[in-house]
Amino acid sequence: MTLASPLDQTRAVASIDPILGLTRADMDRVNALILSMAGSNVELIPEIAEHLISSGGKRLRPILTLASALAFGYRGDDHVKLAASVEFLHTATLLHDDVVDESDLRRGRKTARTIWGNQASVLVGDYLLGQAFKMMVEVGSMRALAILSNASAVIAEGEVWQLSAAKRITTTEADYMAVIGAKTAALFAAAAEVGPVIAGAGPAFEAAMRDYGLHLGLAFQLVDDVLDYGGSAGDLGKNVGDDFREGKITLPVILAHAAGTPAERDFWRCAMEEGRNDDAALAEARELMARHGALEATKARAREHGRHASEALSLLPAGPYRDALDAVVAFSIDRIR
């Protein structure tokens, strides 16, 4: 099954190249601003910031902010500042996440905490949060500040929730969707919403872009969840089974557990809660997922959110930005074709 874009009857281009092309010039300015705002006389700060910035992520969130401002004819500098703020919020979250999850690797590179320690990671994360808010204040849009500060609180709330409740194998699909809605999709939604806000495009377009970002974020996370169990040959910068070995409860696990026999549920409990997660257990997990169609069901949910994201775009004026934003959806989903 392929994704039918609601924008036309032909399938959308499944590539991030169009959006990269449209935002390239402004992303150069975002990168320069990020380097300057991550600067400090305190040498540890630029060192750690540089490490994160050169990590080779796709920078999808700031790109969304740029494109969602440009799509509504915005012609100023504030989208660059907001895009840099969005990336700082994201980077601060990664720094703190790696401390909380005790992660040693991210995208195949050592995490900051492995190199500089947990203490520096916590504090540099706080510094980047402070700098993010300073840049937002410079923009001077109270509405953009409200959207991004709310996202920041929602992300942290989702993280705490995951810490306390969502490590249990009995987590429901609804609970899981709420967690990824907070941890991942809230920032995608905010990143896309602030574009029409500073462009003065009006509430209808703000809501449309918010929906687009929200559903894109959900689709993106569900696709990642599938790929971690080898749903496709996508390159995540992590190995198949990373989530499993870390005991991360993701939707494929929840669905396989829910559909399982009592013995299978026992397997999942031992694997996720008690760390029985060697290679043999991973093979067994993939076998159970196949038996109950857990990966296929997760893919179906991802496609559904992809459709919602594309539908939200149908309100936008036709043109290269709408097409490029739609192509990001198709690209995300295509990783699990």
List residues near a copy of itself by CB under 8 A: 40-45, 93, 96, 99-100, 118-120, 122-124, 126-127, 129-131, 133-134, 136-137, 140, 142, 145-146, 149-150, 152-157, 159-161, 163-165
**Pairwise CA distance, residues 331 & 310, whole Å:** 12
Backbone phi and psi for residue 109, each to the nearest 5 degrees, phi listed first: -110, 155
Q: 170: burial class by Cβ within 10 Å (0-12, 13-18, 19+)? A: middle
Q: Give me the least distance between CB of 141 and a copy of itself, in Å please.
A: 9
> DSSP alpha helices (H): ranges in the chain?
17-37, 44-53, 60-70, 78-101, 112-116, 118-139, 142-164, 173-180, 186-199, 203-227, 242-245, 251-259, 262-273, 279-291, 294-313, 320-334
- CB-wise, 37 or 333, nearer to a copy of itself? 37
Q: Give me the least distance between CB of 80 and a copy of itself, in Å please.
A: 18
Q: Give me the least distance between CB of 132 and a copy of itself, in Å please.
A: 9
- CB-wise, 163 or 283, nearer to a copy of itself? 163
**Pairwise CA distance, residues 143 & 207, whole Å:** 13
- CB-wise, 127 or 212, nearer to a copy of itself? 127
- CB-wise, 23 or 162, nearer to a copy of itself? 162
Q: Give me the least distance between CB of 30 and a copy of itself, in Å please.
A: 19
Q: Give me the least distance between CB of 138 and a copy of itself, in Å please.
A: 8
- CB-wise, 133 or 282, nearer to a copy of itself? 133
Element (H, E) at 110: strand 109-110
- CB-wise, 43 or 279, nearer to a copy of itself? 43
Who's near 287: CB < 8 A, 6+ residues apart?
none
Q: Give me the least distance between CB of 39 and a copy of itself, in Å please.
A: 11
